[in-house]
Amino acid sequence: MFEARLSSTLTLKKIVDALRDILNQSTLDCSDTGIQLQAMDNSHVSLVCLCLRSDYFEKYKCSRNVSLGLDLKSLTKVLKCANGDDAVTIKAADKADKIELSFESAGKERTADYELRLLNLDQEHLAIPETEYSCVIHMPASEFARICRDLAVFSESVVIACSKNCIKFSANGEMGSANIKLSQTSKAEVTLQVDEPVTLSFAGRYLNTFTRATPLSEKVKIGMAADVPLLVEYPIEDYGYIRYYLAPKVDD
Amino acid sequence: SQTQVRLDSFFKAL
């Protein structure tokens, strides 16, 4: 039996919004420690990992591990039926073929129950190696979103070059070029930890997709190292994270 | 020109 309650449906909406541009369907793995999701996009260029510890939830019970195959479009439709400030309880029986979502209004005067059919998804899990990133950048999530959006106008590819003093985002296309540099700020809004300078090229449309997670977090962490996928991590308070990985583009 | 690498070449299936 699995049961998890969040005091605000808005959080769940934000989480699903951060996933649904990359994934159509995915399996939520629930255990007594919390919930996890790991899936690649259809083209196997990016991967998203969601991790939420059980203490993130107002109530959490998972007597045995369950995997819930979800259609994210359908889940989004159900979440649209709820107000952001409704509390939400998700329930699934062992070996269930559906989940139940119950929404309770803030004043408890209205409850609404929905059942959502589960999917039997054949999903492979990947081993993500522990990586020592030679550049680790923290910056406001809204700033990262703005940069990704602004550069997409110029080119499909975005070059990220990180050195001791600054991180530079560049795009170069037929229309012209764009270069945005950020230096470490005294207020620590932007921090750079650089062991080795790294320059890598990435598809801008994936970066833009990752920024769907911006409403979840004030800050974003970016990890870069030569010849490994980019890490873009949005913490979810102190209880978990959404991590995106993106394979680089390489010169022919 | 550049080629997009797939993640499978970095992360192995369990």
Q: In A, which residues are within 8 Å of B10 by CB distance?
A: 129, 228-229, 247
d(CA A104, CA A87): 5
B9 min Cα distance to partner chain A (Å): 9
Lowest-pLDDT range of A94-98, A159-163, A201-205 = A94-98
Helices (H), chain A: 9-19, 72-80, 141-152, 204-210
d(CA A154, CA A149): 10
d(CA A131, CA A240): 19
A120 min Cα distance to partner chain B (Å): 19
What residues of chain A have any CB closer than 8 angstroms to a CB in chain B? Answer: 40, 43-47, 124-129, 157, 201, 203, 228-229, 245, 247-252
Q: Is the pLDDT of residue A139 over 90?
A: yes
pLDDT digit string (tens) for A30-55? 999 999 999 999 999 999 999 999 99
Instruction: Supply the ipTM of this predicted assembly.
Output: 0.95
- Among B6, B12, B14, the residue with its CB nearest the CB of A45 is B6
Cα dihedral A209, A211, A212, A215 in deg (nearest 10): 180
Mean predicted lDDT score pLDDT of chain A: 96
In this structure, are residues A28 and A67 in contact, taking their beta carbons and an 8 Å threshold?
A: yes
Mutate to test the interface with A, among B1, B5, B6, B12 (most CBs of A within 10 A): B5
Q: Which amino acid is at A193?
A: Q
Structure token digits, residue A158: 């975005």
| Contact yes or no for B6 and A43 at CB 8 A | yes
Number of residues that make up chain B = 14
d(CA A133, CA A47): 17
